[in-house]
């Protein structure tokens, strides 16, 4: 790859993106869990250029803050170039050059901030073609069925590239051309500088066209070429929300395919959504209706789904997660979660542990082999290794003003319908009866009970609810028995 490393990659993102009809800048709309701009910058950075420049103008502050927040910003410098009021892709490239050394030499790549499926590999092979032919400009083109709106690749009778003509400036014959300009180019730095210096706004749109650099280089006797890609998705931009959804779906299809080829079973790729930053180990099985979002990481052999959404969640090897919604949680190896579990941020479940049906957890550590199997809320708690929390229990963490913590020790056997009124601590190996309201600490090995003794008022139903089905059933059941007092 080292010989295909460009000197600079310029990502154009100064356009307005009005067709999105959105308060959010176009290039900040996400697919696959990353903004369009993040995808574009990641592909650019993936070619390890010496310089990476993003050209901005509309919503400048928001874009710059967003660029600063991207992971790439922590490992390399992303230069910002501000485009002025002169419109056009050519002007955008000119503004980018002001951020680069004046004597820049080598290959300068231009890409767009709204073309999310372009890969670093495709950019690198364009650079390779460009450099091995010693071209002044090499443009990535594509043959499409519906070329309307794109710049057209104009070739001479021998097939050599002459120039690019924009839709609005094109003649009828030129409009019939189906080979279009993707907007992705490799330039020799000196030729780019010379070409940009010659640009005017003398065209149908009153813009400085970057595409005119090609005609200029050609007229100056420099070699120019267009190389066609057959992967149209990689050069498709998102201009409205319909295209955004189409690109998102295709990105996802590619993600699923990548993981299946790497040894992940995806039962229904059509209903499985996997964000770009997700990691999945070998022999993981993903059942239908699963969304793996953010930085979710699934270890080998786990089974996820059906119908689960895991965001920024870590799942250990061999764990089973069924019909679950989880965010910022860690599920240990061989643990069981769901069906119908809700894991909120800060949940951590130990190896072989269980968070069962209709259980909500938050900011809680549930130890190795510990179980919260049914109908419970666990908030701000620590549950020790091997302990069992009975059905329908609530960790009462909120006093109306502050949140408090509950600690349950190891191997405790807690009854059903317990209320843990925090702050409170239950010792190792303790037990509790059903319906205990744990307000005081329970020492290790003690049995805690708070319920009053049960009283049975015999004959109450017959006396107070005569004639009801309950009274009749009771009468039938007690027939022949001696009346009790």
Give the active site residues.
Answer: 374
Q: Is 150 a binder of ligand UD1 (CB under 6 A)? A: yes
Point out which residues pair with 331 in neighbouring strands: 315, 349
First to last CA, the chain: 95
Q: Kindly compute the dihedral angle of the four CA atoms of residues 56, 45, 230, 2, in this order, to the nearest 10 degrees.
A: 140
Q: Between residues 81 and 322, which has the closer beta carbon with respect to ligand UD1? A: 81
164 is an interface residue for ligand UD1 by CB under 6 A: yes
Using DSSP's 3-state secondary structure scheme, residue 2 falls into helix
Helix (H) or strand (E) segment spanning residue 261: helix 241-261
Site string for ligand UD1, 192-211 (x = CB under 6 A): -----------------xxx
Residues that contact ligand UD1, how many (by CB under 6 A):
26
Per CB under 6 A, the list member of 59, 94, 131, 166 interacting with ligand UD1 is 166
Q: Closest approach of Cβ 92 to ligand UD1, in Å?
A: 4
H or E element, residue 241: helix 241-261
Q: Are 437 and 418 in contact (CB under 8 A)?
A: yes
Please tell me whether residue 191 binds ligand UD1 under the rule CB under 6 A.
Answer: no
Q: Do β-strands 179-188 and 107-112 pair in parallel, antiparallel, or remain unpaired?
A: antiparallel
Please identify, among the stretches 108-116, 341-349, 357-365, 458-466, the one whose residues bind ligand UD1 according to the rule CB under 6 A: 108-116
**89 counts as binding ligand UD1 under rule CB under 6 A:** yes
Q: Name the minimum Å distance from CB 210 to ligand UD1.
A: 4
Nearest to 313 by CA among 302, 332, 300, 326: 326
113: contact with ligand UD1 by CB under 6 A: yes
Among 7, 83, 135, 361, binds ligand UD1 (CB under 6 A): 83
Q: At what angle do helices 36-45 and 120-132 cross, to 10 degrees?
A: 50
Is 147 an interacting residue with respect to ligand UD1 (CB under 6 A)?
no
Name the pairing type of β-strands 308-311 and 290-293: parallel
Rounded to a whole number of angstroms, the minimum distance from the CB of residue 105 to ligand UD1 is 24
Half-sphere exposure (Cβ direction) of 269: Cα atoms closer than 13 Å: 15
Task: Examine residue 87 and tell whether it contacts ligand UD1 (CB under 6 A).
Answer: yes
Q: Which of 31, 52, 81, 92 binds ligand UD1 (CB under 6 A)?
A: 92
Distance of CA 313 to the CA centre of its chain: 12
Q: Is residue 187 involved in binding ligand UD1 (CB under 6 A)?
A: no
In the range 220-279, which residues lie near ligand UD1 by CB under 6 A?
A: 237
Pick between residue 6 and residue 151 the one whose CB is nearest to ligand UD1.
Answer: 151
Contacts of 139 (CB under 8 A, 6+ apart): 153, 161, 164, 181, 182, 184, 185, 214, 224, 225, 226, 227
Burial class (CB in 10 A: 0-12, 13-18, 19+), 407: middle
Exactly one of 32, 33, 151, 427 binds ligand UD1 (CB under 6 A); that residue is 151
- Of 82-90, 123-131, 435-443, 449-457, the window that binds ligand UD1 (rule: CB under 6 A) is 82-90
Check: CB of residue 374 under 8 Å from CB of residue 358. yes
Give the range of 29-37, 59-67, 85-93, 282-290 binding ligand UD1 by CB under 6 A: 85-93
Least distance from ligand UD1 to the Cβ atom of residue 290, Å: 33
Contacts 24+ apart (CB under 8 A), 228-233: 228/140, 228/141, 228/142, 228/143, 228/179, 229/122, 229/140, 229/141, 229/142, 229/182, 230/142, 230/143, 231/122, 232/142, 232/144, 233/117
Specify the DSSP class assigned to residue 202: -
**Which of residues 8, 9, 14, 274 is near ligand UD1 by CB under 6 A?**
14
Minimum CB distance to ligand UD1 smaller for 112 or for 395: 112
Stretch that binds ligand UD1, among 106-114, 190-198, 396-404, 457-465 (CB under 6 A): 106-114
Q: Taking the complex as a whole, how short is the minimal distance between the CB of residue 235 and ligand UD1, in angstroms? A: 8
Question: Among candidates 448, 447, 451, 471, which has minimal Cα distance to 461?
Answer: 471
Q: Cβ of residue 246: shortest distance to ligand UD1, in angstroms? A: 15
Residue 27: CB minimum distance to ligand UD1, A:
7
Q: Can you name the residues that pair with 179 across neighbouring β-strands?
A: 143
Among 33, 116, 183, 316, binds ligand UD1 (CB under 6 A): 183
Chain residues in the site for ligand UD1 (CB under 6 A): 12-15, 55, 83, 87-89, 91-92, 112-114, 150-151, 164, 166, 180-183, 209-211, 237
């Amino acid at each position: 790859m080292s010989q295909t490393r460009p000197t600079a990659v310029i990502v154009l993102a100064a356009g307005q993106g009005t067709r999105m009809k959105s308060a959010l800048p176009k290039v900040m709309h996400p697919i696959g869990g990353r903004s369009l701009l993040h995808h574009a910058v990641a592909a650019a950075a993936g070619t390890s250029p010496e310089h990476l420049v993003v050209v901005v103008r509309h919503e400048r502050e928001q874009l710059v803050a967003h660029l600063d927040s991207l992971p790439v910003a922590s490992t390399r410098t992303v230069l910002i170039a501000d485009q002025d009021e002169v419109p056009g892709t050519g002007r955008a490239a000119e503004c980018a050059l002001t951020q680069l050394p004046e004597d820049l030499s080598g290959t300068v790549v231009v890409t767009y901030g709204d073309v999310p499926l372009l890969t670093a590999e495709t950019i690198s092979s364009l650079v390779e073609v460009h450099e091995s032919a010693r071209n002044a400009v090499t443009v990535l083109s594509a043959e499409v069925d519906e070329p309307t709106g794109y710049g057209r690749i104009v070739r001479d009778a021998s097939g050599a590239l002459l120039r690019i003509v924009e839709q609005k400036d094109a003649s009828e014959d030129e409009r019939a051309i189906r080979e279009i300009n993707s907007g992705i180019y490799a330039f020799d730095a000196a030729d780019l500088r010379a070409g940009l210096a010659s640009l005017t706004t003398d065209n149908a749109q009153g813009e400085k066209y970057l595409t005119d650099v090609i005609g200029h280089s050609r007229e100056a006797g420099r070699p120019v070429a267009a190389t066609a890609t057959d992967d149209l998705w990689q050069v498709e931009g998102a201009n409205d929300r319909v295209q955004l959804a189409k690109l998102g779906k295709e990105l996802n299809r590619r993600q699923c395919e990548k993981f299946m080829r790497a040894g992940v079973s995806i039962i229904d790729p059509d209903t499985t959504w996997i964000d770009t930053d997700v990691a999945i180990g070998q022999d993981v099985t993903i059942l239908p209706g699963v969304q793996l979002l953010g930085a979710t990481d699934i270890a080998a052999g786990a089974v996820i789904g059906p119908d689960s959404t895991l965001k920024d969640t870590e799942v250990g090897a061999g764990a089973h997660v069924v019909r679950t919604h989880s965010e910022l949680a860690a599920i240990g190896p061989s643990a069981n979660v769901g069906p119908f579990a809700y894991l909120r941020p800060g949940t951590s479940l130990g190896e072989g542990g269980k968070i069962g049906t209709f259980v909500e957890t938050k900011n809680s550590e549930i130890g190795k082999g510990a179980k919260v199997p049914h109908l419970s809320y666990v908030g701000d708690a620590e549950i020790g290794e091997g302990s069992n929390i009975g059905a329908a229990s609530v960790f009462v963490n909120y006093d109306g003003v502050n949140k408090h913590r509950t600690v349950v020790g190891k191997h405790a056997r807690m009854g059903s319908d317990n209320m843990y009124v925090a702050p409170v601590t239950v010792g190792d190996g303790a037990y509790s009866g059903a319906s205990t309201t744990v307000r005081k600490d329970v020492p290790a090995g003690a049995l805690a009970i708070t319920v009053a003794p049960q009283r049975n008022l015999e004959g109450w139903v017959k006396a107070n609810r005569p004639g009801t089905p309950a009274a009749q059933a009771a009468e039938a059941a007690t027939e022949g028995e001696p009346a009790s007092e």
